[in-house]
Amino acid sequence: MSEFVKISIGDLARQTAGKFPNNEALICPEFGVRETYAQFLDNCVRTAKGFMALGIQRGERVSVWTTNLPEWVYLQFGLSMIGAVLVTVNTNYKSHELEYILKQSDSTTLVLMDSHRDTNYYDIAREVVRNLENTAPGQTKSDNLPLVKNVVYIGKRESVPGMYRFSDVLALGESVSDADLAARERSIDVHDTINMQYTSGTTGFPKGVELTHYNIVNNARMVGDVMGMTEKDKLLIQVPLFHCFGCVMSTLNSVYHGSTMVVLEAFDPAKAAKAIQDERCTAINGVPTMFIAIMSHPDFAKYDVKSLRTGIMAGAPCPVEAMNDVRTKMHCSEVVIAFGQTECSPVMTMTRRDDPVELRVSTVGRLLPDIEGKIVDPETGEDMPPKTQGEIVTRSECVMKGYYKMPEATEKAIDRDGWLHTGDLGEVDENGYFKVTGRIKDMIIRGGENIYPREIEEFLFKHAKVQDVHVVGIPDKKYGEQVLAAIMLKAGQQATAEEFVEFCTGKIARHKIPKYWEFVTGYPMTASGKVQKYKLREEFAKKYSS
């Protein structure tokens, strides 16, 4: 059993910088940033003082809307030092979603970047936070967002009316003494909410998951322990920092274990391979589609990635073939699978580095220390015996405080005995290894038969031409639902529906063989790399509506 540690995120940064002042802490190749832990701590402290000088109080909410910039990491640790709540804003969001989050979270401050790819955050912020042109920085008065008082800009524009530049905030912080900051840090409780993550909101409005220092520091500790992370490791961070995969399983994990964070602004397969080679990364985190994209890149063989040892594949079911390729072609012999959700900070189960390969490809592992989990009947809530499918539930000190200002949704998610209902279907064997078989709402019911997309996807991955595949149910007058497979073929391959029907015939039950076959070049994705199956369902339901 492991002991839960009681330490704030700010104190953790100070502790690690004290132990390993000269170790590399943060490397951002695209921004020319290369800092030791001593230098990194200094930037976090400057950030803390700057936002304290803006008047940010303990418990006040600061929304951060940028890609993986160095400033994001300083904000994560700096805001925690002053007890402010970092509200993570998905970089795929547009004006409607930004306004919703600023309002729902009661944010007083928005930190944003200029633009990235096809999104101009600066213009969107001006549209959402009205009247910026006519107000001085720090005196924002927007009729639609009455609580927002500060907008902080990161970028190169010469004129930013109504906004502070990030450098202005750091300059203001010079007036805050070490003693003032220390007093604030002493006021912090490890059970304070420190991070609000908005769930993807695949149905209804996104919900703000309230996570505490205690929740996420301990989850990061356990995750890194399973990976075997130490001060000698360098972790490639290519997942978005606004997601728990980025800011708990990656940055916080690294700082807890004294490892080096090698941060890419956004996922790019060639940049990932180059960073692994140049920085001699030993670990890499990503969703399966990222690993597949890196290994499928035409230049992959040119890069030396032999320094890799471990990593986490999570966020989506991992195809067996992809797992085996990551172990062999990417040299990640100790790669592990993690499973959980934002509401449990986020990891509940992991495979272990010394697990037999068949367990690492067929399960999501065992519970982390001090985390409980079981399978219950989704209808009655009764405990299910081993190897029987039901809903996965979990209970631990890593479970969220709740959804911000949504007591009914919180009550629905966490029952009276403290069990978080994940909405995921799965089973557990006699040795405590969990399998995820689908989501309750992903389940396809065709003519009264329950069909689990994961099972069909795993089967179709065995076809030599398949690079990726996602299975959904679409409405059907006769059967209620029919099965559709959206397949991405490997480069240069062509295929027909008939070929795939033949491949399935006699190998999987007839009712599981997809009726519809679509050959696609990509999938609708969340910014954190998860395929949005509901969008696939909507798109093809229109096409095949009977």
CATH number of the domain encompassing residue 510: 3.30.300.30
Q: Which of 288, 277, 274 is nearest to 316 (CA)?
A: 288
Lowest pLDDT segment from 202-206, 262-266, 314-318, 538-542: 202-206
CB 114 within 8 A of CB 154: yes
SS3 of residue 131 by DSSP = coil
- Answer yes or no: is 308 within a domain: no
Residues 6 or more apart from 502 whose CB is under 8 A from it? none
Distance CA 258, CA 201 (A): 34
- Answer yes or no: is 194 within a domain: yes
Residue 24 is inside which H or E element, if any? strand 24-28
Distance CA 224, CA 257 (A): 7
CB 76 within 8 A of CB 47: no
- Answer yes or no: is 318 within a domain: no
**CB count in 10 Å sphere of residue 15:** 15
Structure tokens at 478: 């006769």
pLDDT band of 546, cuts 50, 70, 90: low
pTM over 0.85: yes
CATH number of the domain encompassing residue 132: 3.40.50.980
Reply yes or no: is the peptide bond before residue 319 cis, omega within 30 of 0: no
Give the pLDDT of residue 201. 47
- Answer yes or no: is 274 within a domain: no
- Domain boundary (148, 165, 198) is at 198
- Domain boundary (198, 214, 247) is at 198
Q: Which whole-number Å values give the CA distances from 462 to 92, 336, 453, 509, in the listed order?
A: 33, 21, 15, 16
- Domain boundary (198, 220, 248) is at 198
Residue positions counted in the chain: 546
β-bridge pairing 347-350 and 366-367: antiparallel
Lowest pLDDT segment from 101-115, 251-265, 284-298: 284-298
Q: Which whole-number Å values give the CA distances from 72 to 251, 316, 385, in the listed order?
A: 10, 25, 45
Distance CA 282, CA 232 (A): 9
Question: What is the end-to-end Cα distance of the chain in Å, rounded?
Answer: 55
- Answer yes or no: is 59 within a domain: yes
- Answer yes or no: is 455 within a domain: yes
Give the pLDDT of residue 162. 97
Q: Which of 403, 454, 485 is nearest to 201 (CA)?
A: 403
The yes-or-no verdict on residue 444 having pLDDT over 60 is: yes
pLDDT digits 0-9 by tens, 390-415 = 999 999 999 999 999 999 999 999 99
Average pLDDT over residues 477-495: 93
Q: Which of 314, 379, 310 is nearest to 340 (CA)?
A: 314
Owner of token pair 């109080």 = 57
Q: How many domains does the chain have?
A: 2
pLDDT band of 200, cuts 50, 70, 90: low
Distance CA 335, CA 514 (A): 32
Cα R_g (the chain), whole angstroms: 23
Domain assignment of residue 523, given as a range: 444-544
DSSP secondary structure string for all residues of 199-215: ---SSSS--EEEEEHHH
**Residue 282 CA to chain centroid, in angstroms?**
20
pLDDT digits 0-9 by tens, 124-142 = 999 999 999 999 999 999 9
SS3 of residue 518 by DSSP = strand
β-bridge pairing 234-237 and 283-286: parallel
pLDDT digits 0-9 by tens, 34-46 = 999 999 999 999 9
Q: Which of 362, 383, 357 is nearest to 434 (CA)?
A: 362
The yes-or-no verdict on residue 441 having pLDDT over 90 is: no
Average pLDDT over residues 152-157: 98
Owner of token pair 């005995």 = 417
- Answer yes or no: is 160 within a domain: yes
Which residue blocks in 187-329 are alpha helix, DSSP H? Answer: 213-227, 244-246, 253-257, 269-279, 288-296, 320-328
CB 164 within 8 A of CB 50: no
Give the pLDDT of residue 222. 98
Residues 6 or more apart from 228 whose CB is under 8 A from it? 309, 310, 334, 353
Q: What 8-state DSSP symbol labels residue 246?
A: H
- Answer yes or no: is 113 within a domain: yes
